[in-house]
A and B are shown apart, each in its own frame.
Chain A
Amino acid sequence: MDRQDLKAAADLAMLDLTEEELELLVGEFAQMLEYMSVMDGADTSDLEVTTHILAGETVLREDEAISDARQRSLLLKQSRETSGSAIHIPRVLP
């Protein structure tokens, strides 16, 4: 692991780290990765993965629209700009 790996991860995670932050995080980052390498010692050759404790069951519900006007107005209030009942966001497509 080196500084480049940390920078690459930051880029993928959409984090704009300053040089000082990189400096601060690189030590802990390496320390954690080293600690995680303990897992190499575990024999897991015959084991399946557990992605989720309740994996394998699908629960469905009725597909009903919520028409709670008060809740909708509370929700709309959380965005900075609205146009009528729509949330106004900055341009996301180039």
Chain B
Amino acid sequence: MKQWKKLTRDPRSLERYRESLTAHDKPIHSFLEIDPVLGSSLSASDKSGPLAGIPFSIKDNIALEGFSYTCGSKILEPLRAPYSATAVKRLLDAGAVPAGKTNLDEFGMGSSTEQSAYGTTRNPWSLEMVPGGSSGGSAASVAAGLVPFSLGSDTGGSVRQPAAFCGIYGFKPTYGRVSRYGLAAYASSLETIGILSADLNLLRRVFSQIQGPDVHDQTTRSSTPLTGNSDVPTVAVLSRVEGLSDEVQWGYDQTLEAISRAGWNIRKFDLASLEYAVSAYYTIAMAEASSNLARYTGIRYGLRSEHAASQEEMVRRTRDEGFGQEVKLRILLGTYVLRSGFQEQYYVKAQKIRTLIKQELQGIFNGSDVIMMPVFPVQAFKIGSSGLSSMQQKVADRYTLLANLAGCCAVSFPCGVASGLPVGMQLLAPGMADELLLDRLEELMRYLPGVTLPKPTLAEVIHD
């Protein structure tokens, strides 16, 4: 961390860091705005803070005062955040230095960062590949060695999946552990702010700073961190895992072997509700999205269409010009499933399946400490039409979205490299067992080879 702190220690260093960041990010395009000089002016000047001088990046759907707040959408292009999110504020108070805002799929809707209105981010491991999404800019900024950690958001896997694609850790805390104040709403009952880093110890330090109750978010809870119920953990794994690519299957087998070497107990389980999880998740997420995104009308702030005769026409045109295809699709589907006559069939049914999934997972956690699962059935895929279709991407979210539906905590980790690209798996633990989950992961990582990032970090590149 010492080397990272050197980059932000005085105005000259900050200026040099800004220049290097800009140059090194050119081929990757992980950032939408770079300004560690301005960022530093927001950070606590007291250099004794627990994260003093450590730079980080922030997904552009999380507010940082004075910076862009586009959510990857044209509709918010003119906006500058008038305040900082609680999670960001706590990092600023701890002395961390924001280096800029990162790219994402528009409003967090996507798994590749190709759905951004501001261009595609590339995977630092291979520039032809997507970095995953929707926090793809955040993951790429860490994997490219530009910052040591990033804040992202996870609605159905949007922190864990890009982390897996980029060979780093991605942590989705329990719903209610980290304030969502200052996170632009997409699906409020599912999403949390999460952390991406290649350094598990740093990730834990960041989590301990940002977690805890916040008067600005009434869904935050104080917690008594849960402790383990046995010395030798029991890990639950699906009795059958299907449809993985050869490389991801290899990573899964590697992780199972590591669990055995660690001496943990393995317990197999079936998850009958998994079959319905993707449908239920998208029904709920789209319904909430259609409601949350109704606020973007061009009346108070953001984009406003110039070619309208009436107020209603202005709103319709603004939304048509401002939103991208994927966002429109999800708003339309969300509106459809909430229509009278269809609610019972879609929205209510999905919420009952959510209950089923929650109960099934609770049952599994009754006899196990953690669950181990794949993150995504394939590794980072190619940018463009030769990659996965948007429908295939949605179906592939089935392993990550379980934690969001159940509100529990989950963390993805790099378990190795295959065919030149990293492979990631995830551990899940019950709600409020976040610290314990990270303890277990730390232990497991001693038995896995881990991953070395493709390039040296800026902290190593920039010398005095």
The stretch that binds A, out of B37-45, B100-108, B343-351, B375-383, is B343-351
With an 8 Å Cβ cutoff, the count of chain B residues facing the other chain is 70
Give the 4 A-B residue pairs with the shortest CB-CB distance, closest first.
A53-B407, A16-B316, A49-B351, A44-B352
User: For A80, what are the chain B residues with a Cβ–Cβ distance below 8 Å?
Assistant: 304
Contacts of B227 in A (CB 8 A): none
Flag if B339 contacts A75 (CB, 8 Å).
no
| B278:A17 contact, CB within 8 angstroms | no
Cα–Cα distance between A69 and B220 once the two chains are bound (Å): 27
Q: Which residues of B contact A (CB under 8 A)?
A: 65-66, 78-80, 82-83, 175-176, 189, 215, 218-221, 273, 275-276, 278-280, 282-283, 290, 294, 297, 299-301, 304, 311-317, 319-320, 323, 325, 328-329, 331-337, 339, 345-346, 348-356, 358, 390-391, 394-395, 406-407, 431
Q: Considering the complex, give the chain B residue whose CB is closest to the CB of A48.
A: B355
* Bound complex: CA A21 to CA B327 (Å): 13
A31: shortest Cβ distance to chain B, in Å? 6
Report 14 cross-chain contacts, Cβ distance below 8 Å, ordered by A residue.
A14-B319, A25-B328, A28-B390, A29-B336, A36-B350, A37-B279, A40-B349, A42-B353, A47-B352, A53-B358, A74-B65, A77-B80, A77-B82, A89-B300
**A41 vs B273: C-alpha distance in the bound complex, in angstroms?**
10
For A44, the chain B residues whose CB sits under 8 A away are 349, 352-353, 355-356
Chain B residues lying within 8 Å of A10, measured Cβ to Cβ, are 332, 335
**Given A24-B325, A33-B336, A42-B353, A15 contacting B331 (CB threshold 8 A):** yes
Q: When chains A and B are docked, how far (Å) is the Cα of A14 from the Cα of B317?
A: 9
Residues from chain A with Cβ under 8 Å of B313 in the complex = 16
Bound-state Cα–Cα, A91 to B431, Å: 47
Known: A74-B82, A75-B82, A90-B299. A28 touches B329 (CB 8 A): yes
Q: Is the pair A42, B276 in contact by a Cβ cutoff of 8 Å?
A: yes
A41 pairs with B276, CB closer than 8 A: yes
Contact B351–A50 (Cβ < 8 Å): yes
Q: How distant is the Cα of A17 from the Cα of B314 in the complex, in angstroms? A: 13
A91 pairs with B311, CB closer than 8 A: yes
The answer to whether residues A42 and B355 also contact, given A5-B336, A33-B336, A74-B83 and a CB cut-off of 8 A, is no
Is A12 engaged at the interface, CB distance under 8 Å to the other chain?
Answer: yes
Question: In the complex, A41 Cα to B275 Cα: how many Å?
Answer: 10
| CB–CB B391/A32 < 8 A | yes
**Beta-carbon nearest neighbor of A59 in chain B:** B218
Question: Known contacts A14-B315, A78-B80, A79-B300; is A38 also within 8 Å of B279 by CB?
Answer: yes
Q: Which residues of A contact B219 (CB under 8 A)?
A: 52, 54, 59
Given contacts A33-B336, A61-B215, contact A54 B299 (CB under 8 A): no
Whether the pair B333, A33 counts as a contact (CB closer than 8 A) is: yes
Q: Give, as a whole number of angstroms, the nearest-CB distance from B94 to chain A.
A: 21
Q: Which residue of B lies closest to A73 (CB)?
A: B82
Assess the B351–A31 pair: CB atoms within 8 A: no
List the B side residues contacting A49 at CB < 8 Å: 348, 351-352, 354-355
Q: B residues within 8 A CB of A74?
A: 65-66, 80, 82-83
Judging by beta carbons under 8 Å apart, are B221 and A35 in contact? Answer: no
**Is the Cβ of A38 less than 8 Å from the Cβ of B290?**
no
Q: Determine if A14 and B297 form an interchain contact, defined as CB atoms under 8 angstroms apart.
A: yes
Q: Is the CB of B273 within 8 A of A42?
A: yes
Once the chains bind, are B337 and A36 in contact (CB under 8 Å)?
yes
How many angstroms from the CA of A40 to the CA of B313 in the assembled complex?
Answer: 38
Chain B residues closer than 8 Å to A92, beta-carbon distance: 299, 311
Shortest Cβ distance from B330 into A: residue: A32
Q: Is A36 within 8 A of B215, CB to CB?
A: no
B332 adjacent to A54 (CB under 8 Å) = no
Whether the Cβ atoms of B189 and A51 lie closer than 8 Å is yes
Task: Evaluate contact between B356 and A36: CB separation under 8 angstroms.
Answer: no
Report Cα–Cα, A71/B81, bound state, in Å.
10
* Inter-chain contacts of A31 with B (CB < 8 A): 391
Bound together, the chains give a CA A13 to CA B293 distance in angstroms of 9
B189 touches A53 (CB 8 A): yes
Decide if A15 touches B319 in the complex (CB within 8 Å): yes
Q: Which residues of B contact A61 (CB under 8 A)?
A: 215, 218
Q: Which residues on A sit within 8 Å (CB–CB) of B297?
A: 14
Q: Are A16 and B317 in contact (CB under 8 A)?
A: yes
CA of A61 to CA of B319, assembled, Å: 35
Whether A35 and B278, one on each chain, are in contact in the complex, defined by CB atoms closer than 8 angstroms, is yes
B contact residues around A28 at 8 Å (CB):
329, 390-391
The answer for the CA separation of A16 and B189 in the assembled complex, in Å, is: 28
Cα separation A40 to B346 with both chains bound (whole Å) = 9
In addition to A42-B349, A54-B219, A74-B82, 20 A-B residue pairs with Cβ atoms within 8 Å of each other are A13-B335, A14-B316, A15-B320, A24-B325, A35-B282, A38-B275, A40-B349, A42-B352, A44-B353, A47-B355, A48-B352, A49-B351, A50-B352, A50-B355, A59-B218, A60-B218, A78-B82, A79-B300, A87-B300, A92-B311
